[in-house]
Amino acid sequence: MKWRVLLTLVMFLFVVHSAQSQTDSQNQVSASEQQTDSTLTSQAVGPSAQSDNSAAVADDDEVFIDINQMPEFPGGLSGIKKFLSNTVRYPQIAKENGIEGRVICSFVVERDGSITNVEVMRSSGDMSLDREAMRVIRAMPKWKPGIQNGQPVRVKYTMPVNFNL
C-alpha cells in the first residue's frame, strides 16, 4: 500500500522536475496557464505576487512563481522516496473500509526551507486520508529553499497525494 502512494508521488515529482528543466529554457508561463490538477506545481499568492519574476524581492511576505532556482527536497527524488516510505501510514479506518482517494494539498516552502501553511485544496472525500496527507507534508524535513535573484524566497506548492489499497 505504501509503495503505491510512494510511487505515485515520486512519479509526480519526476514529471515536475522534468517539466521545470524544460520551462527554464523556455519563456515563463503565466499563473493562469498552469495546471495544478495532476502535478506538483508552484503558484503566486497574495496581492503582491509579481508576474515579472526578474524584479527585485520587494516584500518579505511575497510568495513567488517560477523562480530562478526552485526549492528542492533533501536528497531529491530518492530522498523523498525514502522519507515517504518511512512516514506514510495508510489510515486504519480507511483501510478497513476499502477507501482510496487523492488529496491535493498546498504548502509554502519558506526562506529557511521549512514547510508552512499546509492546507487541503481538494479533499479525497475521506477525512482520515486528508489528515494523513497533511500530517506527512507537515512532517517533511526542511527543503533547500527557492532562490530568486540570489535571495531565498517563499514558494507555494500544490501536491497531490494518492492513496491506493
Averaged pLDDT for residues 65-84: 85
Which of the pair, 132 or 164, is modelled with greater confidence?
A: 132
The whole-number pLDDT of residue 2 equals 55
The SS3 call for residue 34 is coil
Tell me phi and psi for residue 89, to 5 degrees: -125, 115
User: 77-85, long-range: CB within 8 Å, 24+ apart, which pairs?
Assistant: 77/10, 77/13, 77/14, 77/17, 80/9, 80/10, 80/13, 81/6, 81/10, 83/140, 83/141, 84/2, 84/5, 84/6, 84/9, 84/10, 84/136, 85/2, 85/3, 85/6
Q: What residue has cell string 527554464? A: 24
Q: Which of 159, 161, 158 is nearest to 128 (CA)?
A: 161
Model confidence at 79: pLDDT above 70: yes
- Give the global pTM: 0.67
Q: CA neighbours within 13 Å on the CB side: how many for 92? A: 0
- Class for the domain spanning 2-163: alpha beta
Q: Give the tens place of pLDDT for each residue, 25-65.
A: 333 332 323 333 333 444 444 333 333 444 444 467 888 87
Interatomic CA distance for residues 77 and 13, integer angstroms: 7
In contact, 143 and 71? CB cutoff 8 Å: yes
Q: Give the tens place of pLDDT for each residue, 95-142.
A: 999 999 999 999 999 999 999 999 999 999 999 999 999 999 999 999
Hey, what's the cell of 150?
540570489
